[in-house]
Amino acid sequence: MTLAFGAHVSASGGVDKAFARGEEFSMEAIQIFTKSERQWRAKPLDDDVIDAFFRERKRSGIDKIVVHDSYLINLASPKEVLRAKSIDAFKEELTRCETLSIPSLVTHPGAHTGCGVDVGLQNVVESLNRVHDDLPDLKVRTLLETTAGQGTTLGRTFEELATIVDGVEAKERVKVCLDTCHIFAAGYDFRTEDGYAGMMRQFDEIIGLERLQAIHLNDSKNPLASNKDRHDHIGEGEIGREAFRHLVNDARLEGIPALLETDKGDDNQLDGKNLVTLRGMVA
């Protein structure tokens, strides 16, 4: 056993359609949007679509499912109107996951947009605490995604994510998604065996490996510490194959959803190519 390999797949036509797209390349895990990632609101999930989702989930056997939230959400915003709108949208995302019995919702920690890192991180903490207070019974976990550090985005260091976790009252509801492109662009060099071991040791000491609940598998078009978020195909970017070889053979990560977010090409064939590359690295 190793990571549960998969990719972000389209839910166009209904969330139930995602499973057949995952089956095409024998995925063990999938990531989806349950609504448009470019819009604040969406119509409620139709009962027929919900029923079809559960049927397809059982039929396909793909049971490791992760949702990514809307790119518009900014829980760190210093603007109260925008942050309130983001909190409402985030609660809707969590509720949609709960309806579909999906355990994990990935979110970017947000951007402080000039108010400073410390204030931005505190805004995220307060936003999550408000969400948890408003939705006390939801089982869905929030997965804070590591970021490349572009502009004023938060989450570029393990310490920043740990600050958020430390401040959240319901800590069991907050986990982490590690993006390989993002951490490399943020300055974590894991291309050698020693570098990989050191990076994972830092993650464990600062955040805790038990909080790692999903991984985004992306090479990087830009060099180490570039702070630029541009994904490349596995082994074809600045990170290179050996870094991914260390990761896919790390026994501590067994069963964790490991999801491609790379360009899919015609008919998604590049997903198939990248998955073959990753599976071929497993010892």
For residue 24, what is the DSSP state?
T
Secondary-structure class of domain 4-281 per CATH = alpha beta
Q: How confident is the model over 206-235, as a mean pLDDT?
A: 98
Domain coordinates of the chain in residue numbers?
Answer: 4-281
Q: How confident is the model over 79-107, as a mean pLDDT?
A: 98
Q: What mean pLDDT, rounded, does the chain reach? A: 97
Task: For residues 273 and 271, give the distance between their C-alpha atoms in angstroms, rounded to a whole number.
Answer: 5
Q: Say if pTM beats, i.e. exceeds, 0.75.
A: yes
Catalytic residue among 28, 56, 160, 229: 229
For residue 180, what is the DSSP state?
H
Contact status, residue 129 vs residue 168, Cβ threshold 8 Å:
yes
Contact status, residue 121 vs residue 76, Cβ threshold 8 Å:
yes
Catalytic residue among 56, 69, 92, 145: 145
> Has 246 been annotated as catalytic?
no
Q: How confident is the model over 143-157, as a mean pLDDT?
A: 98
Predicted confidence band of residue 97 (pLDDT cuts 50, 70, 90): very high
Q: How confident is the model over 57-68, as a mean pLDDT?
A: 98
How many Cα neighbours within 13 Å face the side chain of 252?
Answer: 13
Give me Rg for the CA atoms of the chain.
18
> Has 231 been annotated as catalytic?
yes
> Has 38 been annotated as catalytic?
yes
Name the 3-class secondary structure at 237: coil
Note the pLDDT of residue 202.
Answer: 98
Phi-psi region of 226 (alpha: psi -120 to 50; beta: other; left: phi over 0): alpha
Supply 85's token pair.
């709108």
pLDDT at residue 42 is higher than 90: no
